[in-house]
Amino acid sequence: MSNLIFKDNNIRTNGNLVCLTDMAKPYGKLVTGWTRLDSTQAYLEALSVDMQISITLLIEISDAGTFAHPEVAIAFAQWLSPEFHVWCIRHLRTLMEKGKVELAAKQPKPLPLDFDFQLAMGIDKINSGTLPATVKQLLIDNLVNKYIDNTPKLVASTERWVGLVQKAEELGFKTNSSNRVKLGHYGTKEQSRLTRQREERLCNGEMRSIWVYLDNKELEIVIREYFAIEAINA
């Protein structure tokens, strides 16, 4: 095992898994306080379908603690602390992309004097329940780029690639284990109308290739068609 370090707190990693137990310690919280939330269960189920990996492999519990996939750890960090969440986005992205992390991750340099005010405004916007997921992610990326020193700057792009389930839920459709699979089949059937590509993601300790789709009007039409057909056949 190797360690990540955030404000003198050692966070163990086991292969490509991150210890949620260690992450929670400084905040006086238990991992179960997060995992038992309905929103957490919905997130894990959606991530499981999107990554084609079971929830039991996304989160592994042992005598050594609770370890999880980096994407799960990033979501968990958001529940713990906004500052820690931003830090995890930066460092755990490295774990997902390169399959390894430095033993002692370098701490950010002192932040500018206006950081508290600017961050507070940014976090207020991020926590707003009225903002779309895409806007929230943009705000998070802006905070990372603007305030964390030595962070590789993200290249601005008008393109956004999403999973079918993710887009369906953003459009307000309710998904479950059954219609998620059928939606995936429908997307494959209508692939000539869509732009899709393979994306490498870390699954159970190894990189796997999954389909993601260009977020555009045609994708929305295909998703709405599927749920219209499902309603007719219900």
* pTM for the structure as a whole: 0.45
Q: What is the pLDDT of residues 1-50, one digit of tens each?
A: 567 888 888 888 887 889 999 999 998 899 999 998 988 888 898 888 88
- The whole-angstrom separation of Cα 88 and Cα 74 is 6
Give the tens place of pLDDT for each residue, 126-138. Answer: 555 555 565 556 5
What Å distances lie between residue 46 and 79, 102, 165, 179, 224, CA to CA? 18, 30, 7, 12, 18
CB distance 19 to 65 below 8 Å:
yes
Residue 19 structure tokens: 């210890």
Decide: 127 and 139 in contact? Cβ < 8 Å.
Answer: no
| N-terminal to C-terminal alpha carbon distance within the chain | 50
Please report, for the chain, the start and end positions of each structural domain, with discontinuous segments joined by +: 2-108, 109-147, 161-233
Buried b or exposed e, range 31-55, using 16+ CB within 10 angstroms = beebbeeeebeeebbbbbbbbebee
